[in-house]
Structure 1
Amino acid sequence: MPNRTLGRGSAALEVSALGLGCMGISEFYGTVDESVGERTVAAALDAGITMLDTADVYGPFRNEELVGRVVAKRRGNVVLATKCGLRHTDSGFQIDGTPEYVKKAAEGSLRRLGVDHIDLYYQHRPDPKVPIEDTVGAMAELVAEGKVRHVGLSEPGPGTLARAHATHPITAIQTEWSLWSRDIEDEVLPVARERGIGVVAYCPLGRGFLTGAFRSVDHLEASDLRRVHPRFQGENLARNLVLLETLEEIAGARGATTAQIALAWLLARGEDVVPIFGTTRAEHLRQNLEASHLVLSAEELRQIDERIPPGSAAGPRTGPGAAHMETPEKVH
């Protein structure tokens, strides 16, 4: 597995070119046996992945505990990324970027992960009620205390990102980015690259759609949020299946899977890009990792951009069942 560097200077962090997103092991995409999840995380580490992505909100809390159990005896080879900023309340999730909560959340994550420091600590969503300088200032204090090594933001607006980086060096942003979600390219990506901030792309396989594994939501569990996601419904789904067929044609010509092409396309967007995919199947894990050595030609990249251009996916990328997880920050 080749490595890549997120951030630069004092904020630089070396990670594997592909990371494992652990969210789906514990929540949102149906039921997964925790022993299967543990084996998946261990297999990813064995295969050369060094970056594991989790959050206190996944589970809730169970995902960090699961990841912590796996890395307990191999901490030195793992870059642990987790997040704060979403509180569990009786009425659902609430964004909280107050310095007090940031510090309290970090202590909880350290305890559940069973570690003395977090390698990359993200604010899960910017809090419009709290100046980003206050939130990142608290994260900077955690760095000074040795409890956090690097600071990140998930789904920031471009103005917020610039202000955050002026407060403390930001190593990476995490945002949805894939062949069917390219919003980042217009405003956020230029700000990140101007400042040397890396990009961790979550949902690089379009919540599994770009793998071609399913063409309807009928077989998904009732708890799977894709059942109500706009891009998996009715006319939107029909139009998106046409895009999938195009991707299947491109992948077939290369002798690769659609997932490998989708991941390789993201890797080709720049050396500062690290996609994190989720899976619980060993076969899919092995196949996806092969994308780190799949180099798309200039002609293949041109063809992909021409046939699957920005904005071609039908339906918004946010779903009603997980707006708290998916809605990008609107405050610039």
Structure 2
Amino acid sequence: MITRRQYLKLALAAGVSLAIPGGMLKAEPRRGELITRAIPSTGERVPAVGLGSSATFAQVARSEDISALREVMGAMLEHGGTIFDTAPSYGDSEQVAGTLAQELGITDRVFWATKVNVAGRNGGRVDPGAARGQLEESFFHLGTDVIDLIQVHNMGDVPTQLGLLKELKEEGRVRYIGVTTTFPHQYPGLIEVMRREPIDFIGTDYAIDNREKENDILPLAQDRGIGVLVYAPFGRTRLWERVRGHDVPEWAAEFGARSWAQFFLKFVLAHPAITAATPATSRARHMIDNMGAAYGGLPDADALKRMVAHIESL
């Protein structure tokens, strides 16, 4: 019996020549310069929009037909993105993405962001050996000796797991470390970690209808020089349901938003604390649309107020 990884390699080897269909990836013309942001702890610049691998990406990764994921990763890179955010808990996403990148020869072009958490949502103390095992699996799945960013997922036993990440950073195996959560009851703990730990990043949720972090977490990130990856910039499906049946307002073209995805993403990117947004998708055309938000202008303060008022009126 072949393993899942062996199967993926065989499937990808058979289909690698179809990996990046040029006509599809160049369908949307770029407008303006690519928006990049500096990682506060080093000044390294990264594109402001990347790709997440939860939700539909994870669902497709569990299937035998992963051609769509090959196309979506190609679309991200073709349109200037590099950040790929994943986690061992996102089903086969980490393994599939790593194998795809290796077969396509793009491993070194991707900014790999993954996570560690053997505690899960139930919390509790972590077995350091189990956490080390999970971390080594991530290196293996992604096919790289150095991972750009590893974060403690959902604040799982931060003292133990962040301690392991500090060791990996000192060894040069991880470039950046951090913590993540999208659970409101964990926000006070996140703030405490941001105040006392030497982390490079946090990962959290932020959207045009989810702005509470503008009061505390985002200003603290700026003060402490911590990068911010935004998850769920579309409120998962919440914002799509809200705008169903409504057209993007014409005035959004003033800052280059020509779709609802770009409208929502440009709102998020307008906040100076945000390093990048990583919405998940399993469709190349959605990836191209998302990357469109990383080109051209961003809304100013007056436009941001108008955007919020418009969404609240729907």
In the superposition, the TM-score normalised over structure 1's length comes to 0.71
SS where residue 174 of structure 1 aligns? strand
Q: Aligned partners of 1:267, 1:253: CA distance in 2, in Å?
A: 15
Q: What amino acid does structure 2 have at the position aligned with 1:6?
A: I
- In the TM superposition, residue 101 of structure 1 has moved relative to its aligned partner by 3.4
Residue in structure 2 matched with residue 44 of structure 1 by the alignment: 76
Q: Helix, strand or coil: the match of 1:269?
A: coil
- Whether 2:148 is the aligned partner of 1:145: answer no
Which residue of the partner structure matches residue 305 of structure 1? 308
CA shift, 1:69, in A, is: 1.6
CA distance in 1, matches of 2:76, 2:125: 32
Q: Compute the displacement of 1:102 (Å).
A: 2.9
Conserved in 2, the CA contact under 8 Å of 1:40 and 1:282? yes
Q: Structure 1 counterpart of 2:48, which letter?
A: A
**Letter of the aligned partner of 1:183 in structure 2?**
E
Counterpart of 1:195, as a letter, is: R
Tell me the CA shift for residue 245 of structure 1: 6.6
Match of 1:108 in 2: 137
For 1:278, give the aligned amino acid: A
Deviations 1:184-212 (A, max 9, x none): 223222222210111111111222443x4
Q: In structure 2, the residue corresponding to 1:199 is in which secondary structure?
A: strand
286, 290, 293: which one pairs with 2:292?
Answer: 290
In the TM superposition, residue 179 of structure 1 has moved relative to its aligned partner by 1.3
In 1, Cα distance between equivalents of 2:252 and 2:171 = 52
Range with greater deviation from structure 2 (49-58 or 154-163): 154-163
Deviation at 1:79, TM superposition (A): 0.6
Cα RMSD (Å): 3.0
1:119 Cα deviation from its structure 2 partner: 0.7
Indicate if the aligned counterparts of 1:251 and 1:257 stay in contact, CA closer than 8 A.
no
Structure 1 residues 8 and 251, CA, compared in 2 at 3 Å: closer, same or farther?
farther
1:161–1:192 CA contact under 8 A, matched in 2: no
* More strand, by proportion: 1
Deviation at 1:302, TM superposition (A): 2.0
Q: Secondary structure at the match of 2:97?
A: helix
1:30/1:186 CA distance change after superposition, 3 Å: farther
For 1:294 and 1:206, the matched residues in 2 are separated by 23
Q: Deviations over 1:140-197 (max 9, x none)?
A: 0111222211101112534544445634x21111111111222322322222221011
Q: How many residues align?
A: 269
Distance 1:97 1:276, change over 3 A: farther
User: What is the percentage of aligned positions where both structures have the same residue?
Assistant: 29
Counterpart CA distance in 2 for 1:145 and 1:166 is 22
Which residue of the other structure, out of 259, 279, 283, is the alignment partner of 1:277? 279
2:136 is aligned with 1:136: no
Residue 226 (structure 1) aligns with: none
Aligned-residue offset at 1:271: 5.7
> In the alignment, what sits opposite 2:234?
205
Q: Which runs of 5+ in 1 are unaligned?
A: 216-240, 314-332
Distance 1:250 1:30 in 2: 37
* 8 Å CA contact retained: 1:13, 1:171: no
Q: Is 1:3 matched with 2:36?
A: yes
Q: Which amino acid aligns with 1:16?
A: P
Q: Which runs of 5+ in 2 are unaligned?
A: 1-33
Question: Secondary structure of 2:268's match?
Answer: helix
